[in-house]
């Protein structure tokens, strides 16, 4: 079994914001794989499908971003999964809009949801797919920026990044981390 955790904040007011791009990737995967619905479990919305002989659990924590580790810990304990079977998909202001970076381990790099997951799991060896949302313009507070919606001129880049991220997740499930890293991190 593989677990794909998309990070974001619950509630309609946060839909389609920069901080919720992880939820958007889960939605893309759910659409592609015919996930009929998500159920409430593990303080998250959870859906599932099969891919390449593996069961894939889509997990959208509903605890708000900074407490995402509670959901992820509950899932890994229930299914007795190692952290290496969990892929966290999150936004990253340090990457240009639309740029993806897949790693198998490392620090949270300032992403509070990822930081909580690493802390609660007690390891930095958690695969993560960071999705670039760009830096805030001058005079724009960081919190306001990540909670803002993408602008119209950014929509094509965001849509393409979400699809590329979903393909990267599928590659990770079917072919493993190294091959997925080569696919996702390839220069454009």
- How does residue 188 score in pLDDT terms, banded at 50, 70 and 90? low
User: Which is catalytic among the residues 2, 18, 19, 130?
Assistant: 19
Q: Is the pLDDT of residue 59 over 60?
A: yes
Helix (H, G, I), strand (E, B) or coil at 147: coil
pLDDT of 86 > 60? The answer is yes
What was the pLDDT predicted at 158?
Answer: 93
Question: CA–CA separation, 15 vs 105, rounded Å?
Answer: 28
Kindly report the pTM of this predicted structure. Answer: 0.94
Segment 23-39 mean pLDDT: 95
Does 152 score more than 80 pLDDT?
A: yes
**Domain 2-184 part of CATH 3.40.50.1470:** yes
Closest CA relative to residue 88, chosen from 40, 21, 145, 31: 21
Distance CA(166)–CA(32), nearest Å, equals 9
140: confidence class by pLDDT, cuts 50, 70, 90 = confident
Structural domain spans, the chain: 2-184
Is 33 an active-site residue? no
Mean pLDDT of 80-96: 95
For residue 54, give every residue at least 6 positions away whose Cβ sits within 8 Å of its Cβ, in sequence order, or none: 1, 2, 173, 174
- Give me the mean pLDDT over the 12-37 stretch: 94
């Amino acid at each position: 079994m593989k677990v794909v955790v998309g990070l974001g904040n619950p509630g309609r007011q946060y839909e389609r914001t920069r901080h919720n791009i992880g939820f958007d990737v889960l939605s893309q995967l759910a659409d592609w794989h015919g996930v009929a619905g998500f159920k409430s479990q593990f303080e998250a919305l959870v859906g599932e499908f099969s891919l390449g002989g593996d069961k894939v659990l889509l997990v959208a924590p509903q605890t708000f971003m900074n407490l995402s580790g509670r959901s992820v810990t509950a899932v890994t304990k229930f299914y007795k999964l190692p952290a290496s079977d969990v892929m966290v998909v999150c936004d990253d202001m340090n990457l240009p809009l639309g740029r993806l970076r897949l790693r198998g381990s490392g620090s949270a790099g300032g992403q509070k949801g990822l930081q909580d997951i690493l802390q609660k799991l007690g390891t930095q060896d958690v695969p993560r797919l960071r999705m670039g949302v760009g830096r805030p313009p001058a005079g724009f507070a960081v919190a306001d920026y990540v909670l803002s919606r993408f602008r119209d001129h950014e929509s094509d880049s965001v849509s393409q990044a979400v699809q590329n991220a979903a393909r990267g997740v599928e590659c990770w499930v079917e072919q493993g981390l190294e091959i997925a890293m080569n696919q996702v991190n390839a220069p454009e």
